[in-house]
A and B are shown apart, each in its own frame.
Chain A
Amino acid sequence: MIIRIFSDGQYRIPEDAQARLHELDAQTVNAVDAGDEEAFTSSYGALVELIHSVGERLADDELEPSDLMLPPSDITLEEAREEFTGEGLIPD
């Protein structure tokens, strides 16, 4: 599976890391729902760290589409909220 972290790059993630990934993603969503800044920063930070540690970074000139896309690692809780409610972070 290939994951893109915006403002970072694309990573090829091995199958066996995906369960942990889903778990951290769920935690992150809960933190956004609860408006818990601290929990959000730590769970999303852990998610990004996991991808960095198990993932293999793709070169800039590779043209693989991503299966999943994540917001930038320094995204704020407020921005993550917009991601859920409004048009999302990506401009047209």
Chain B
Amino acid sequence: MAGLTGRMSTIVKAKVSKVLDRAEDPAETLDYSYSKQLELLQNVKKGIADVVTSKKRLQLQEASMQQQVVKLDTQARQALAANREDLARLALERKQSVQTELQSLDTQIGELETQQQKLIDSEAAMRAKLEAFRTKKEVIKAQYSAAEAQVRISEAATGVGEQMADVGLAMQRALDKTENMKARASAVGELEDSGTFEDLTQLGAGKDDIDRQLEAIGAGGAVDDELAKLKGEMGAGSPPPAALDAPAAEPATAEPTEEAP
């Protein structure tokens, strides 16, 4: 078969036989390369640990974004209560984009979990095959003539070799995914640190511009604040009728004063 299957088979077979052809006796080859196999299994363990670390990092990021959603929601309510529909809209827009980001994080965490499981399964299959091989080669040696035993052992060793290639690929794919996500996570981190994320989701701790504007409104007077709170309790979500009289495109400054006379 010349298709995708054929190409893959050719490459794997070539690589497996390259390993097995190093010695005349494939059983010996596998025995000699036992330390190599242990090394591979060690690497798989490290690979799995790496995937787990990366997953935890994404989960932390997810938790912080969930807090962000709650915060933006609160801000939107506060803004509405303070009769600032424009600010409420801004907060809700940010909430939307954080939620979109959250969904994509969810997908990525799921993908990492899948890769991790595949790696674990593939490693388990390799251990099982190695174990079976060690038993079987003795049986074969006892039952067959030297020449025939050689052929049968070679076949069995190929089965192990294939599984090693399988583990190798599972590992490479898991690590590639992890690397991509690390790069992405650190890119988000950098944006966060430099504050350039402000106009998108404002992930950083501390106060953002919505907070500052809300504070400025608050500075207008404790009475206003109290009043806004009351309005919020009475009907968060719909602006009080007074808002209809306000100019549509009020600049986002703290002072609601009209032009000075």
Contact = CB atoms under 8 A, between A and B. Distances in A.
B159 A32 contact: no
Contact of A69 (B9, B155, B157, B160): B9
- Most-contacted residue by chain A among B3, B11, B136, B171 (CB, 10 A): B3
Interface of A: 3-4, 6-7, 9, 21-22, 25-26, 28-29, 32, 44, 59-72, 74, 80, 83-84, 87-92
B3 A63 contact: no
Given A60-B129, A61-B128, A63-B132, A70 B159 contact: no
B146 to A, nearest CB: 19
Given A25-B5, A44-B4, A83-B4, A4 B162 contact: yes
A23 to B, nearest CB: 10
A70 B132 contact: no
B116 to A, nearest CB: 12
B9 to A, nearest CB: 4
Interface string B156-167: 111110100110
Contacts of B172: 89, 91
Interface in B106-163: 114, 118, 121-122, 124-125, 128-129, 131-133, 136, 155-160, 162
Contact of B129 (A21, A61, A71, A74): A61
A63 B166 contact: no
6 contacts: A21-B1, A61-B128, A62-B159, A84-B4, A84-B7, A89-B172
B56 interface: no
A33 B129 CA distance: 36
A17 to B, nearest CB: 13
A25 B158 contact: no
A63 B169 contact: no
Contact of B7 (A21, A60, A83, A91): A83
A63 B132 CA distance: 7
A6 B166 contact: yes
B166 A32 contact: no
Interface in B1-58: 1, 3-9, 11-13, 15
Given A61-B131, A72-B169, A92-B15, A25 B4 contact: yes
B7 A90 contact: no
A63 B160 contact: yes
A69 B162 contact: yes
Contact of B12 (A21, A29, A69, A74): A69
A1 to B, nearest CB: 10
B158 A65 contact: yes
B76 interface: no
B173 A72 contact: yes
B204 interface: no
B114 A74 contact: yes
Contacts of B12: 69, 90
Given A4-B166, A63-B156, A65-B155, A88 B129 contact: no
B6 A68 contact: yes
Nearest to B18: A92
B155 A70 contact: no
A25 B3 contact: yes
Contact of B165 (A21, A63, A90): A90
A41 B132 CA distance: 36
Contacts of A44: 4
